[in-house]
Amino acid sequence: MRDLGEYVINMVSEPLVEAMQRSSANVGPLQNEFELAGVTPKPCKCVNVPAVLEAPIAFELKLNRIIPVGGDHLVLGIIEHIINFLSFSFDKKLMT
């Protein structure tokens, strides 16, 4: 996320909860989190990192900043695109 300056937040339904828990493991940069979780990558429209095909909603974001909070971090991003694989797609350019 730091290196690429962009990321995707996938909103998952109950059948994907265990897979997403596996994908949240602290793994090395060469570990494929999609393989680890057993989900399918889907190319995004506005960022160069994939979304989870099986997730009904995905937020494509550009990294704004990372703020240290105690022993962890708060990650802030700017939404570039919202995908709802069930019915609609939202593009921030439509709001400007």
pTM higher than 0.85, yes or no?
A: no
Q: What is the pLDDT of residue 30?
A: 86
Task: Summarize pLDDT for 51-70 with one digit per residue, the tens.
Answer: 999 999 999 999 999 999 99
Closest CA to 60 of 78, 42, 85, 86: 78
Task: Summarize pLDDT for 17-36 with one digit per residue, the tens.
Answer: 899 888 888 888 888 989 99
DSSP 38-64: T--EE--SSSSS-EETT-SEEEEEEEE
**C-alpha to C-alpha distance for 76 and 95, rounded to whole angstroms:** 20
Query: Which of 45-49, 77-81, 89-93 has the lowest average pLDDT?
Result: 89-93
